[in-house]
Structure 1
Amino acid sequence: MIQRINGIDGMEELEKILNRTQMDSPEVLQRVDQILDDVRLRGDSALLEYTKMYDGHELENLRVTREEIEEARENIDPGLRKAMENAIENITRFHKNQVDQGFIVQEDDILLGQLVNPIERVGIYVPGGTASYPSTVMMNVIPANLAGVREIVIATPAGKDGRIRDSVLVAADLLGVTDIFKMGGAQAVGALCYGTETIRKVDKIVGPGNIYVAMAKRKVSGMVGIDMIAGPSEVVVLAGEGANPRYIAADLIAQAEHDQRAASIVVTDSDSLAGRIEQELSRQLMELARWEIAEKALADYGALIVVDSMEEGFHIVNRLAPEHLELLTENPLEDYKRIRNAGAIFLGEYTPEPVGDYYAGPNHTLPTSRTARFSSALGVEDFCKKTSLIYYSKEALEKASGDIMTLARDEALTGHANSIRVRMED
């Protein structure tokens, strides 16, 4: 069901798992190119045709109506709404700490600064299909709101009945989303980038999606901003001998149920623990509603890595740079300091990944496929742009003019030097 790998010798196989991608598929790339060009040229007509083709229903109106939102508010379970409100409070509290006010530094006749302004219009992609995610709404909209983004629109595919899940609509409404559109896939990315008769183009597109969404985002990057090119989700659990195999198996399965390409990996210095985890996986899988998806993911992209020491375990984890890392060691509140590369770190046996997915506060939009080596979680800064501010008085320019002209001439940019020189002659 899940493959065994022996320590550092198995790194090549592990890196294949975490580097799994379809981003180099020529068939997918060709189809994405066709869809993007079609939406750019034909707008709403193309969107409606692709909605019928891929989502299986005909729509007269892409925009979610106020009546649909009110109906969702009436239908939603009160307990679910309360849980969402509590999560919104936690996520907001955490992300408030990321708000950047910019700075101004003034010394003598020089003023330097950095202005921080919000992006004006942002499109957020929320996955649909086999599952839809109000948590994605919260994790993307809240930092955008805190950054001061004035217009936030959501693109999400409707179900076979032409409706969007009540929880997604209510989450968007609670957070003041400007518009919600029933569209998915590469065609939604194209509509947000280029604009159509119904949809005004945005300045940045964020949010996770399938391979078509990811590749479309990559293609339009530069015409609009994007957050990241996210691959399939992954979790790595670093566990010592005393860790609870039942908890670990549950966490591996929780990750594996996302989709058939999700990766669930354990790194441990205990062969005995690895065996007990295997037993728990077999037992718990049968209790899962999405067990077929989880079983496929575990078979293809699951791994139990037995290392000679925890020192070797930390080394492997840092090389893997996982999206999610659970530390089930003897002293996780100290051991996290040894981690250099991870999207998010979950400390101790009572902090499983779903705590971060839904509720704790830090963002769950994280770098995948080893990109945590150089990328970070989505945050308020992703919805801002920074502008440098520079002021020199005449006296300050005179003092610096020699150095500036020397540097310009060294680069053979005599026009730059002349721009300074003419001011010194007055």
Structure 2
Amino acid sequence: MIIKGIPARRTENFGSLIEYIRSVVEYVRTHGDRALIELTKKYDGVEIESIRLDSTELEKCIEGLSDVIRRSIDMLYTHLYNIHSTILPRDIRIDLNGVSMGISWRSIERIGIYVPSGYKSYPSTLLMAGIPAIVAGVREVYISSPPMRNGCVNPAIAYGAVKIGAKEVYRVGGPHAIAAMAYGTESVVKVNKIVGPGSIYVQAAKHVVREVVDIDGIEGPTELVIIADENADHRKIALNMKSQAEHSKDTFIVLLTFSHKVIENVERELSSDANHTYYLALVRDIDEAIDIANNLAPEHLSLYVTNPFNYLDRIRNAGAVTLGSEPSAMVDYLGPDHILPTNGWAKTRGVLTVYDFLKPIAIFYSSKGIASEILSAARVLAEYEGFQLHSQSMGVDNDV
């Protein structure tokens, strides 16, 4: 379906689901494994006897996975590992005004990765979430993904889990999987942070459990905004839009252009797709298009314009930006990462990186050469705030 104009809001909003999701989360928190088994049968139609897949079961799940898929996962693992290794920050030491301090980075100890499966399966998501965690030094990685009819998780997901050295894998999907990793059950380990995209129900669950566990953000459903000028190839634009709509029926796909010809040609290319909604908007010029895009703050933004680097600095709010004729699918598989903020969260968050799995710790180790006026200023402010002993303690080792 094609809608002419700029969408007033996202097609889906999980606000209406919150109370229902709270009841699911509370049911899992109260009843543990029993709730997970019941909800898996109810929502996935699969009867499971246990939550955790042991190593023998994982290997059995992997059986039959083609060598082509295995080699592809291996190759992309190395590619993405190298990318995230270049992003890894180093400890900082600062010597300034006679004081020595710094920042030391430490990894989160235990994370949970949610890997969607069902309408589509996403071993690539496991790589995109797991690799930056491993590079950051996370010691314990736990994975949860919906079960197949045979009780296994998707074979490529199982292979990826072994590849990244996951400590445990759970055959549970949906909001109940999020609840389990947030609170822990008899079988599921409580984690410090949950990452990964998913359905609107999964994202609503992440929103609810952030009261007790950190999350990476709200990721899903898929979003794409395209800005195109009169020189853009309408066939490539349409294919990019269709490729992102491939995720599900609730994707958010928008074209902004100031070319009548482009919008007419793209409409013709999309007219045969009645299963997805596409927004086509004719705008005044590229300035208006950029303003609208920044306000929408999409997951993916593609710039099909001449000299796209000239406009890159003006893009303030987007999870990922592709330039020229590069399709957004490049980010989905080649990186830096496809776990990206949706629902307007790109106004405050960005792409998942090693930083999502690291904590900066402040280090202060010497004030022996501190400038007297700096120390005096610090003590004056402490006393102004009513902390006399703070002021006194700062003067003890500095002959004050």
**Is 1:307 paired with 2:283?**
yes
1:297 counterpart (263, 268, 276) = 276
> Is residue 92–residue 361 contact of structure 1 (8 Å, CA) maintained in 2?
no
Query: The residue matched to 1:362 in structure 2 has which SS?
Result: coil
2:3 aligned with 1:3: yes
Once the two structures are overlaid, the 10-residue window that deviates more, 113-122 or 38-47, is 38-47
TM-score w.r.t. the length of structure 1 is 0.87
Alpha-carbon distance in structure 2 between the residues aligned to 1:249 and 1:389: 52
Q: Deviations over 1:236-291 (max 9, x none)?
A: 111122222222112111112212221111111111221111111124x3xxxxxx
Which residue among 14, 23, 28 is the counterpart of 1:23?
Answer: 14
- Superposed, 1:322-341 pairs within 5 Å as 322-341=298-317
2:337 is paired with a residue of what secondary structure? coil
SS of 2:276's partner is: helix
Aligned to 1:56: 45
1:244-263 alignment runs, 5 A limit: 244-263=233-252
In structure 2, the residue matched to 1:8 is none
Cα distance in 2, alignment partners of residues 348 and 393 from structure 1 = 52
CA distance in 2, matches of 1:384, 1:322: 25
Q: Which amino acid aligns with 1:297?
A: H
Give deviations 1:48-89, integer Å, cap 9, x for gaps: 121122121221121123233323443112222222222222
Which residue of 383, 391, 394 corresponds with 1:409? 383
How far did 1:190 drift? 1.8
**1:281 pairs with 253, 263, 270, which one?**
270
1:354 to 314, 319, 329: 329
Partner of 1:368 in structure 2? 342
Q: What percent identity do the matched residue pairs reach?
A: 36
Cα separation, 2, equivalents of 1:309 and 1:395: 58
Q: C-alpha separation between the residues in 1 aligned to 2:159 and 2:179?
A: 26
| Whole-angstrom distance in 2 between the partners of 1:422 and 1:308 | 66
- Contact 1:93 1:361 (8 Å CA) reproduced: no
Q: 1:398: how far off?
A: 7.0
Q: How far did 1:394 drift?
A: 5.9
1:147, distance to aligned residue in structure 2 (A)? 0.1
Match of 1:177, SS state, is: coil
Tell me how many residue pairs correspond in the alignment: 400
Q: Is the 8 A contact 1:324 1:342 kept in 2?
A: yes
Partners of 2:368 and 2:101 in 1: CA distance? 15
- 8 Å Cα contact 1:113-1:389 kept in structure 2: yes
Structure 1 residues 200-209 or 305-314, which shifts more? 305-314
Rounded to whole Å, the distance in 2 between the matches of 1:260 and 1:3 is 15
How far residue 234 of structure 1 moved from its aligned partner, in angstroms, is 0.7
- Is the CA contact (8 Å cut-off) linking 2:257 and 2:281 kept in structure 1? yes
Residue of structure 2 in register with 1:380 after alignment: 354
Aligned pair partner of 1:113 in 102, 107, 112: 102
Judging changes above 3 Å, is the alpha-carbon distance between structure 1 residues 406 and 108 closer, same or farther for their aligned structure 2 residues? closer
> How far 1:415 sits from its partner (Å)?
4.5
> Does the alignment pair 1:154 with 2:147?
no
| Matched letter for residue 232 of structure 2 | A
Which position in structure 2 is the counterpart of 1:170? 159
Q: What amino acid is aligned across from residue 344 of structure 2 in structure 1?
A: R
Q: 1:203 aligns with which of 192, 208, 223?
A: 192
- SS in structure 1 at match of 2:169: strand
SS in 2 for 1:138: helix
Match of 1:345 in 2: 321
Return the alpha-carbon distance in structure 1 between the equivalents of residues 205 and 118 of structure 2: 18
Alpha-carbon distance in structure 2 between the residues aligned to 1:134 and 1:394: 53
Please state how far the C-alpha of 1:201 moved relative to its aligned partner: 1.0
CA distance in 2: counterparts of 1:308 and 1:216, whole angstroms: 40
Residue 155 of structure 1 aligns with an amino acid whose one-letter code is S
- Asked if the contact 2:218/2:343 (under 8 Å) is kept, the reply is no
Aligned to 1:288: none
User: Which residue type is aligned with residue 346 of structure 2?
Assistant: A
Counterparts of 1:78 and 1:245 in 2: how far apart (Å)?
37
Distance, in Å, in 1 between the alignment partners of 2:86 and 2:280 is 37
Separation of aligned partners in 2, 1:85 and 1:79: 10
For structure 2, the 5+ residue unaligned runs are: none
CA distance in structure 2 between the aligned counterparts of 1:130 and 1:24, rounded to whole angstroms: 23
Shift of 1:33: 1.9
Query: Does the 8 Å CA contact 1:256/1:262 hold for their aligned counterparts?
Result: yes
What residue number does 1:321 align with?
A: 297
Query: Does structure 1 retain, via aligned residues, the 8 Å contact 2:238–2:270?
Result: yes
Structure 1, residues 78-120: CA drift from partner, whole Å, max 9, x if none? 2222222222222222211210122122358532011101111
Range 139-148 or range 262-271, more displaced: 262-271
Q: Provide, for residues 192-238 of structure 1, a one-character-per-residue CA deviation record: whole Å limited to 9, x for no partner.
A: 12211112211111111222322222222242211002242111111
| TM, length-normalised to structure 2 | 0.92
Q: Between 141-150 and 228-237, report the one with greater CA deviation.
A: 228-237
**How much has 1:423 moved relative to structure 2?**
6.7
Q: Over aligned residues, Cα RMSD in angstroms?
A: 2.3
- Match for 2:298: what amino acid? P
Deviation at 1:184?
1.5
